[in-house]
Amino acid sequence: MLGNFTYCNPTKLIFGKGALDGLKAELEKFGKNVLLVYGGGSIKRNGIYDKVTAILRECGKNVAEDAGVMPNPTVEKLNEGCERARACDADLILAVGGGSVCDYAKAVSVSAYCGEDPWQKYFIRFEEPTCKIIPVGCVLTMVGTGSEMNGGSVITNHAEKLKIGHVFGEEVFPKFSVLDPEFTFTLPDYQMKAGFFDIMCHILEQYLSDEDDNTSDYIAEGLMRSLVHSTRVAVKDPKNYEARSNIMWTSTWALNTLIAKGKTTDWEVHMIGQGIGAYTDATHGMTLSAVAMPYYRMIMPYAVEKFARFAECVWDVDAAGKSREQVAAEGLDAMEKWMREIGLVMNISELGVTPDMLDGIVKATFLNEGGYKVLTAADVKTILEQSM
């Protein structure tokens, strides 16, 4: 049965070729001072920086820059960003980059005027902001996280060997996001593919929970079918606009909170992946792909019918003459085949995990209760061992 819920998503999306043309109208809604946030410099090499700064100048904005946001933003970087936001009295934080840049911008937005340690308040105690929140806007250059249309923010604390996400309420959602699929064309192959599985995993974490018949799951199945088709095209032709635009749109809908409505959700693959990331700083999407198959094969016996539905509806497995267990297993085999076909990392050793790290990663992994089986620490270690 579809549960009761309230749904609100206040983010305005500007999507398609030339979407950056809509940035000026959005900027005019905010004050003069803009903190421009971006990563390691790729937006300068591909020309996006010049386009964005030209629009900022045209709008008469005072621009301060916060560059160097890393793929897994750290507590130290967050503290630096807070200082920059306060120094320029930012009226808007404009994030230009991928999900990590968007995540980071949201963390700065709620932390700059926090008045206490934001790591403790938001990422340890999971409290909501009670201070001034700086509005955030995004210009997306990489797809995968869905951060452009949600309140999620993930921060890494290397000293504590923790990588933790906080999903903030709608007041922290970006006010607008500019999504031009062509901005993703210059993304390195490895990052592109990592984003592909991040999208799939977001959908699976919400789909593979509950066994009731509900609209949210039908939407999820359509998104997964679209993603599988388009990624197969994109790995062969990375500049195929139709494929990359469909992937970008799927990514946004995979984690803008819609398909989670009315049901429980799992998120255990993400918890394990974040534990790995805390120790290795590995690319997020690949930490998920490396542990996904052992995890789903472990929990499949606890929800055979849902996994069989997944096999039939997403992977076109023919159920004739087969047990539901056989159908479910064939679906997971089909997913693994697709993962290998598009070039994902399938073991954690490739990400730098060594046997002496396993106990620490287990300790860094949060155990959720929304999935078909609540894992024990021993279960997590088994999954990691099978992922080596």
- Mean pLDDT in residue range 103-111: 98
pLDDT of residue 40: 84
Q: For residue 334, what are the CA distances in angstroms to 48, 289, 311, 383?
A: 38, 14, 8, 20
Strand intervals (E) in the chain: 12-15, 33-37, 62-66, 92-97, 136-140, 152-157, 162-167, 176-179
CB atoms within 10 A of CB 74: 18
With tokens 């809509």, the residue in question is 22
Question: Tens digits of per-residue pLDDT, 192-224?
Answer: 999 999 999 999 999 999 888 889 999 999 999
Structure tokens at 193: 């593919």
Return the CATH number of 12-183, one of 3.30.750.200, 3.30.230.70, 3.90.1300.10, 3.40.50.1970: 3.40.50.1970
Torsion of CA 249, 253, 256, 262, to 10 degrees: 170
DSSP state of 374: P
Question: Tens digits of per-residue pLDDT, 314-347?
Answer: 999 999 999 999 999 999 999 999 999 999 999 9
Q: Give the pTM.
A: 0.95
Strand partners, 154: 165
Q: Where are the domains of the chain?
A: 12-183, 189-387
Return the CATH number of 189-387, one of 3.50.50.60, 1.10.3720.10, 1.20.1090.10, 1.10.260.40: 1.20.1090.10
State the pLDDT confidence band at 384, using cuts at 50, 70 and 90: very high
Torsion of CA 145, 147, 151, 152, to 10 degrees: 40
Q: Are 85 and 113 in contact (CB under 8 A)?
A: no
Q: Which of 362, 168, 176 shows the shortest CA–CA distance to 276?
A: 362
**Checking phi first, is residue 267 left (phi over 0); if not, alpha (psi -120 to 50) or beta?**
left
